[in-house]
Amino acid sequence: MRYDLVIFDNDGVLVDSEPISNRLLADYLTGLGFPTTIEDSYRDFMGAAAHTVHDVIAERYAGARLPETFDADFHALVFAAFQEQLTPVPGAAELLKQVQESGVRYCVASSAHHEWIRTALARTGLAGFFTEEQLFSAQDVGRGKPAPDLFLHAAATMGVRPERCVVLEDSPLGVAAARAAGMDVFGYTALTPAARLAAATGLYDDTAQAPALLGLDGAGGR
């Protein structure tokens, strides 16, 4: 099937930020007195909007509250690490080039803040594939994944019906959001076990496999 809009998740699908951000988040929470492993962070926060961290800590620790500066301080830690460590997901630039040359419309829809998205794309050399109008954040809708709001907002803004959209995701929350939006979704299993993405339309473990899933290389899509 050839789609009318490809919606990319950013972290973990285009930029290899998940190991960096989840390690820093686990360390930061642990230092604040909320013991968290990187595996915990992947399970509980990967693909989620920023408010999820606050919600989970409050639920698990009898209403405990993170510092008011938590989000700003964590973002500063991550941005500093990005400058030295962040790289694109292998094959991401080639995939974006193929989608761009195919004429199929595309965009990013991420739970992260706009500043985070822009910083990550710029640091990895992928910013040139996108205009500001192609970048969508959970900030735009108020509710992040697994709610479908972000994907529906991106589709509506790009002028494409949900059933003509496909999402590339690497988190269970993202897969659930795409399904709730009535979109096909292909799960990237580089970091997330395939079983946790079982609700996806299909799975891939190498970005080079994505063009066939998107119907861009003559392989017939799904």
Contact 104, 8 (CB under 8 A): no
Name the band, by pLDDT with cuts 50, 70 and 90, for residue 71. Answer: very high
Closest of 69, 78, 62 to residue 115, by C-alpha: 78
Pick the CATH number of 5-16+87-213 from 1.10.1200.10, 3.40.50.150, 3.30.70.980, 3.40.50.1000: 3.40.50.1000
Q: What is the mean pLDDT of the chain?
A: 94
CA angle 212, 200, 165 (to 5 degrees): 65
- Mean pLDDT is lowest, of 83-87, 91-95, 133-137, for 83-87
Fold of domain 18-85: DNA polymerase; domain 1 (1.10.150)
- Residue 40 pLDDT greater than 50, yes or no: yes
Where do the CATH 3.40.50.1000 domains begin and end in the chain? 5-16+87-213
pLDDT in the model for residue 218:
54
Where do the CATH 1.10.150.240 domains begin and end in the chain? 18-85
Global model pTM greater than 0.85: yes
The end-to-end CA distance of the chain, in Å, is: 6
Name the band, by pLDDT with cuts 50, 70 and 90, for residue 162. Answer: very high
Rounded distance, CA 74 to CA 80, Å? Answer: 10
